[in-house]
Amino acid sequence: MVPRLEVTSKKEPFILAKSQVIADPQTNRGTAFTVEERKRLGLMGRLPAAVETLEQQAARAYKQVCRLDDDLDKYIYLEQLHDRNEVLYYKMIIDHIAELLPVIYDPTIGEAIKKWSADYRRSRAIYLSVDRVEDVRPTFEGLGLGPDDVDLLVVSDAEQILGIGDWGVNGTDISVGKLAVYTAAAGIDPSRVIAVNLDVGTDNEELLNDPDYLGNRHARVRGERYDALVNEYLSVASELYPHALLHFEDFGAANARRILVVNRAKYRIFNDDMQGTGAIVISAVIADMKTNGTTFADQRLLVYGAGTAGTGMADQIHAGMVRAGLTPKEAKNRIWLIDRSGLVTDDMEDLPDYQATYARNASEVADWERTDGAIGLLETVRRAMWQPMYADLKA
């Protein structure tokens, strides 16, 4: 459903009507303003004579998009439309969601993020700096939003953007884009959301040496200072907007699972890369089990690519196995992770915490075949999947 936003919204009607109504993307309706509305709002002579329906506006806008050959050019056009007429923007996205979702989000948004500072046009987010943690509260308070005015915040520190890595403040659009998906696909009111960038610096030398870069020009801060910013964000956001979901997006492997585990009992927090991806995989597993008449207790899981998303899947399937009657240890023994260094085992150095949970005992796989010192996918499938299945069939 396309949000129907009242022209006067929560702002003082006379002031808004005379100075802001066609400048504010949430209230501007462009050529869809009727003659009566134009008279009432002081817009006579400010628009062409034609009065169009939203459908007519959307048809014109879609034709304009279709004239563009490059997806990044389409992204820029849609971003500019978003900045001047939000209702029209979402109407067109919803009408052509299969075609335009890859333009406003992945994969096109990756190219837009790389050029974000150089092509900077308008901010649709707030920026919280690790160098000024004391500004977190006044930043949110300056928005003038009450405890019942916000449903959702999407925050990213942009350390692991999609498949392109660390892009610092340029990664702001990943939060903005995710919120657009929430509205287009789930009907979340775009006037009740906030996009947030945690600017903790960047280790991307290309950005640090770029004169156009708009973020903090220092290496990515970690440890206590980083945690202080995250903790202040969580504390202030949850206090000011107690009913809002705090969505975390594209955090690096060292922080994503740790932040979720430490804070999920205290805050309404959600990590999309772990829990969102895991939920999609779980739905596929459940559909398969219904077809085959099996349960989670019958499954064996091999995760190929054991990052935060992969281990997030493992966490949720492990939970399903336990609910189906297995003990936590039995469930763990049915899960194998493969990462860049091959099968994850407990004798590997510097195992991240999210992998250590599922690391196999090195003695258990001592006689498994290795290639360049690593146990690969084929050997793991043969030993962990095929042989047990064959043994079960024989039994």
Reported as a single tens digit per residue, the pLDDT across 209-229 is 999 999 999 999 999 999 999
**What's the confidence (pLDDT) of residue 179?**
97
**Mean pLDDT to the nearest integer, 166-193:** 96
* Residues making up the chain, counted from first to last: 395
Residue 388 is predicted with a pLDDT of: 73
Looking at residue 390, its pLDDT comes to 56
pLDDT for 8: 39
- Range with lowest mean pLDDT among 49-58, 164-173, 331-340, 382-391: 382-391
Mean pLDDT check: name the lowest of 52-66, 169-183, 297-311.
297-311
Does residue 267 have an active-site annotation? no
- What mean pLDDT is reported for the chain? 91
Catalytic residue among 178, 182, 241, 358: 178
Give this prediction's pTM. Answer: 0.84
pLDDT at 4 over 80: no
Catalytic residue at 105? yes
pLDDT over threshold 50, residue 3: no
**What is the pLDDT confidence band of residue 392, given thresholds at 50, 70 and 90?**
low
The answer to whether residue 353 scores a pLDDT higher than 60 is yes
Q: How confident is the model at residue 298 (pLDDT cuts 50, 70, 90)?
A: very high
The pLDDT of residue 354 is: 83
How much is the pLDDT for 389? 65
Interval 11-43: pLDDT, tens = 444 444 455 899 899 999 999 999 999 999 989
Q: Does position 312 have pLDDT exceeding 90, yes or no? A: no
* pLDDT confidence tier of residue 83, bands split at 50, 70 and 90: very high
Q: Which residue has the higher pLDDT, 134 or 6?
A: 134
Q: How confident is the model at residue 311 (pLDDT cuts 50, 70, 90)?
A: confident
Query: What average pLDDT does the segment 124-146 reach?
Result: 97
Question: Of all residues in the chain, what percent carry a pLDDT higher than 90?
Answer: 79
Of 89, 90, 105, 127, the active-site residue reads: 105
